[in-house]
Amino acid sequence: MSANPSREELVERATKLAPLLRSRARWIDENRRLPDDVIDAIEESSLLNMQVPAQYGGYESSTRDFVDVLAEVARGNTSVAFCLSIYASLTWMTALWPDAALDEVFATPNVRVSGTTAPSGTATKVDGGWVLNGTWRFNSGVLHAHWKVTVALPTGPDAAPVPIFALVPTAELRIVDDWYTSGLEGSGSVSTVAENVFVPEHRVITGEDFYQNRSKSAVNVLKPQYAAPVLVPVTAIQTGQLVGAARAALAAFVERLPGRPITYTDYPSQLDAPVTHLQVGEAALLIEDAEARARTFADVIDAKAGANEAWTEQERVWSRVQIGWVARQAKAAVEILAQASGGSSIQRDVPIARLQRDIHATSLHAMITPSVNIELYGRSLVGLAPNTVYL
């Protein structure tokens, strides 16, 4: 058996994707999805294998691997990086299902799993499984996904008030083309609809099992990395794209500087203006801080998995604020650079405006929003209980 690729090899593969991703940026935004040649290139890179369990030929890559890889992908295109972060996160979650379900999911090479954890549908118990009905919004990457994690509340007089998590083939869901946004256009985060969709029992787990990380896989339950609270590695994976988007903005800004005057001043080149030096310096420091925090966060997760250590409630709260603070620092850096880029930067072929929109959209994600996560962290520091179960 050949060894899994190293972090350096995986990052190199991501770096090689960047020219294609940059060249397709306008098409991606205008068509609100990823093009076929980008999907083909992603499959050829084998990056989709990073979170596939080893028994199915996957790499079971570390959290830090994902942070560094997605940072490189985001330097090419942020919508692509967002979709890959979703596929990675949901593929990791899928490892909690029974082995019979995993045999189905991972029978597909380069399998892509999408989904959300919002219980915006209903589930009715029937012989052999459940019947789902409902509508789920914000399904990033679902246009190119093979499977979707779909969460619903059981109905009926004896139904427990605990949602079920179901693995559903995307072909069995109806797609609603409603993703018209001013950020992350290419993520294709459309709505999906289930209309009397039957899901067999082996493809369903309870919300309690999901959030308590009670793996139903006889193989994966023995692996320490799957013992981490599900939202901890998932949020850490997301930090890479934030750092990468900010780094892409800084590179794009510096590239445009030579010979570019500051209009209505006597500076023939923005490169010579002291204000530019202050702007670049502050943005770079914010990005460096965000990157260092993202990597530290990932390293903590990997170290605890390596030592097979449990997570305390306080540590889970700490994990939530990490992505919030990374998002805040990265967004602040991009805002500085966008403000310094002048009126010409709003043209569609100049990347800074797209990066500004995309990182703003990312920071609005309910699990990422800085103010919500900082408040949660502050509550814990003054001795109050968390005001959320999403830890």
Q: How far apart are CA 104 and CA 106, in angstroms?
A: 6
Q: What mean pLDDT is predicted for residues 69-75? A: 97
Give the chain's mean pLDDT: 94
pLDDT at 1: 47
Contact 328, 296 (CB under 8 A): no
Q: 327-383 pLDDT, tens per residue?
A: 999 999 999 999 988 888 888 888 899 999 999 999 999 889 999 999 999 999 999
- Whole-angstrom CA distances from 138 to 69, 190, 354 are 24, 6, 20
Strand ranges for the chain from DSSP E:
113-115, 121-126, 129-139, 147-154, 164-169, 174-176, 190-200, 204-206
H or E stretch at 379: helix 370-381
Contact 119, 92 (CB under 8 A): no
pLDDT at 263: 83
Q: 144-195 pLDDT, tens per residue?
A: 999 999 999 999 877 788 999 999 999 999 999 999 999 999 999 999 999 9
pLDDT at 145: 98
Q: Does position 2 have pLDDT exceeding 70, yes or no?
A: no
Q: What is the DSSP string of 163-195?
A: -EEEEEEGGGSEEE-----SS-GGG--EEEEEE
Q: Does position 45 have pLDDT exceeding 80, yes or no?
A: yes
Which residue in 2, 128, 4, 17 sits closest to 71, CA to CA? 17
198, β-bridge pairs: 131
Q: Which domains does the chain have, with CATH numbers?
A: 7-105 (1.10.540.10), 113-216 (2.40.110.10), 228-381 (1.20.140.10)
Q: Does position 322 have pLDDT exceeding 80, yes or no?
A: yes
Joined together, the tokens standing for residue 75 give 């330097």
pLDDT at 272: 87
322 or 272, higher pLDDT: 322
pTM value is: 0.94
- Burial, 133: exposed, middle or buried (Cβ in 10 Å; 0-12, 13-18, 19+)? middle
Q: 49-64 pLDDT, tens per residue?
A: 999 999 999 999 999 9
Q: 295-315 pLDDT, tens per residue?
A: 999 999 999 999 999 999 999
